[in-house]
Chains A and B, each alone.
Chain A
Amino acid sequence: MKGFGRYVIFLGSLFVRRESFKTYYNLTLEECIQIGLKSVLLFMLVSTFMGAVTTIQTAANLVSPFVPRFVIAQVVREMTVLELAPTIMAVIFAGKVGSSMAGGLGTMRITEQIDALEVMGINASSYLVLPKIIAALLMYPLLVIVSGVCAILGGYIVGSLTGALTPTEYIYGIRYTFNPYFITFALTKSFTFAFLISSISSFKGYFTNGGALEVGIASTNAVTTSIIAVLLSDYFLAYLLL
């Protein structure tokens, strides 16, 4: 509870005494490259496989002759949009981006780089963390969209290769009774998760004290805490918005 209070104060501190807009713009751009470009391949790889696996497993389960095969594609679509792309990818995002945010900030803390910024009169939390959060908010939804597309493509390829369903059936299934609200829901989830992961990880890293060992611990804590936060908020968002 005390930790939560400090987290809220930390979030508040991000918005006081800011540098020039141009400084933030440049920093955010750098972070976008760090976060976006460096994770996109991993995201594409994981989601393509997830789409493929979902297709095969759904096909294996739907053996009833009364269920048309395009339903497989429909299931893949719903799974991808609602859960696989935004939530499972959030776990990967926490592992890749969250841990490196916490590790980077923790290292800056213990090597006094944060103090060096503060001595120059810079609000270090805002200077270092705000760009990371904004970049995560910009990049994570994009990564989720890319993942969604890759997962559906993965399903398409595997479905055609294994003969589980024909490309025509697959495309028909993907488009069948599509509810666009689910996309809005997925994007809402993406923004929420991006914020939670980037802010929690930054918080854990920023308040590291000690040495290299503590940086490692902060990094691990960042990942576990963000994942728990993501899963909890996933539940509440589903409860509130669906």
Chain B
Amino acid sequence: MIKIKNISKTFGDKTVLSGISGEFEKGKTNLIIGSSGTGKSVLLKCIVGLFQPDTGSVFFDLRNFTEADKEMKSEIRREIGMLFQGGALFDSKNVEENVMFPLDILTRMNPEEKIERVNFCLKRVGLEGVNKKKPSEISGGMKKRVGIARAIVNNPNYLFCDEPNSGLDPQTSILIDELIMEITHEFDITTVVVTHDMNSVLGIGEKIMFLYKGSKLWEGSNNDLTHSGVKELDDFVFTNKVMRSLKGS
């Protein structure tokens, strides 16, 4: 479980996040939703420590990450896996080296154990026989899969995904979403997914936080999404025709 308390962040004189609190549950896919530019990615980066929030703290299972000392920080970091928007694979390394990288850096496994773990993860995300390919030689969907494999290779307790299906076709998007949800349940991970894709919201949104212009306006499950009574959320949800017709019925 991850708890955030009163997170604020400004860049220069631009307030991007103001006083966001909330909880992300273990073994569930927790979603942060909202339209582009509302600060979803910045919130995610504050949570994983890529940005230092101006105020507030982040707790990973009761451990205060924001005020942790160096050792505690690296202990928590060891338990974090992250999937970036474009996959963020290292161009100079092949698929296998990319997935192995966290093991090289964070563990003392021997080479055989590492390769076994890498192959297990690649198989888990449905990729076999591409070990020696460079990121430039594989498709966008495959990059995301490799990114997921790299994120889970060190058995994380926390998994973060920023727009996991941006740039993918609808079918591949659903497959990636499902993969993230399956992995979350299978390994009992606290997963936080940032998205603005309504298909994902309905498909894998077990717990949802809605951001609007840097503030949290609503929190709940996808069952309650359509009758939240929050105007901004309705506007976000019902931009889609299919959704509008659902509302009408």
Residues in A lying within 8 Å of B, measured CB to CB: 17, 19, 107-108, 111-113, 115-116, 118-122
Query: Which of B74, B88, B89, B90 is within 8 Å of A121, CB to CB?
Result: B74
Known: A19-B105, A107-B91, A113-B91. A119 touches B82 (CB 8 A): yes
Looking at the assembled complex, report how far the CB atom of B192 sits from the nearest CB atom of chain A, in whole angstroms: 13
Distance A122 CA – B84 CA, assembled complex (angstroms): 16
Kindly state whether residue B102 has any CB partner on chain A within 8 Å: yes
Query: In the bound complex, what is the Cα–Cα distance between A108 and B86 (angstroms)?
Result: 11
Complex-state Cα separation, A115 to B77, whole angstroms = 13
**Which residue of the partner chain A has the closest CB to B162?**
A112
Contact B84 A120 (CB under 8 A): no
Cβ contact within 8 Å between A120 and B106: yes
B-side contacts of A108, CB under 8 Å: 90-91
Residues on A with beta carbons closer than 8 Å to the beta carbon of B84: 112, 115-116
Query: In the complex, what distance in Å separates the CA atom of A112 from the CA atom of B48?
Result: 14
Q: Is B246 an interface residue (CB 8 A)?
A: no
Asked if B78 lies at the interface with its beta carbon under 8 angstroms from chain A, I say yes
* Contact in complex: A113, B89 (CB < 8 Å): yes
Q: Which of B86, B88, B91, B105 contacts A122 (CB 8 A)?
A: B105
Q: B48, A121: Cβ atoms under 8 Å? A: no
With A111-B88, A113-B89, A113-B91 as contacts: A121 and B77 at CB distance below 8 Å: yes
B45 sits at the interface (CB 8 A): yes
Write out the residue numbers on chain A whose beta carbons fall within 8 Å of the beta carbon of B91: 107-108, 111, 113
Sorted nearest first, the 4 A-B pairs with minimum C-beta distance are A121-B77, A112-B88, A112-B84, A116-B88
Which of A19, A115, A120 meets B45, CB within 8 Å?
A115
Q: A19-B105, A116-B88, A119-B82 are in contact. List 7 more A-B contacts (CB 8 A).
A: A113-B89, A113-B91, A119-B77, A120-B77, A121-B73, A121-B105, A122-B105
Task: Check B80 for interface membership: any CB of A closer than 8 A.
Answer: yes
Would B88 and A115 count as touching, CB distance under 8 A?
yes
CA A17 to CA B105, docked complex, whole Å: 13
Interface digits, B65-90 against A, CB 8 Å rule (1 contact, 0 not)? 00000100110011010101110111
Q: Which of chain B's residues has its CB closest to A17's CB?
A: B70
Interface residues in B51-71 (C-beta closer than 8 Å to A): 70
Q: Shortest beta-carbon distance, B110 to chain A, in Å? A: 15
Which residues of chain A come closer than 8 Å to B78, judged between CB atoms?
Answer: 121
Q: Quick check: A121 and B106 within 8 Å, CB to CB? A: yes
- B70 contact set on A, CB distance < 8 A: 17
Complex Cα distance A82/B24, Å?
A: 65
On chain B, the residues within 8 Å of A116 by CB distance are: 82, 84, 88, 90
By a CB distance below 8 angstroms, the chain A residues around B74 are 121
In the bound complex, CA of A122 to CA of B49 (Å): 12
- Chain B residue numbers with a CB within 8 Å of A19 are 105
The distance in angstroms between the C-alpha atoms of A17 and B48, with both chains bound, is: 18
Known: A107-B91, A113-B91. Is A118-B50 also a contact (CB below 8 A)?
A: yes
Show 25 A/B contacts (Cβ-Cβ < 8 Å), sorted by A: A17-B70, A107-B91, A108-B90, A111-B91, A112-B84, A112-B85, A112-B88, A113-B88, A113-B89, A113-B90, A115-B45, A115-B88, A116-B82, A116-B84, A116-B88, A118-B49, A119-B48, A119-B82, A120-B77, A120-B101, A120-B105, A120-B106, A121-B77, A121-B105, A122-B105
Give the docked Cα–Cα distance between A115 and B87 (Å): 11
Closest to A119 in B: B82
Instruction: Give, as a whole number of angstroms, the nearest-CB distance from B155 to chain A.
Output: 14
Please report the C-alpha to C-alpha distance between residue A111 and residue B87 in the assembled complex, in whole angstroms. 8
CA distance A153 to B86 in the complex (A): 51
Which residues of A sit under 8 angstroms from B105, Cβ to Cβ? Answer: 19, 120-122
CB neighbours of B80 from chain A (8 A): 119
Q: Which residues of B contact A107 (CB under 8 A)?
A: 91
B34-53 at interface with A (beta carbon < 8 Å): 45, 48-50
Name the distance in Å between B12's Cβ and chain A's nearest Cβ.
13
Q: Are A120 and B102 in contact (CB under 8 A)?
A: yes
- Chain A residues, Cβ within 8 Å of B77: 119-121
Name the CB-closest residue of B to A122: B105
**Cα distance, A115 to B86, chains bound together (Å):** 12
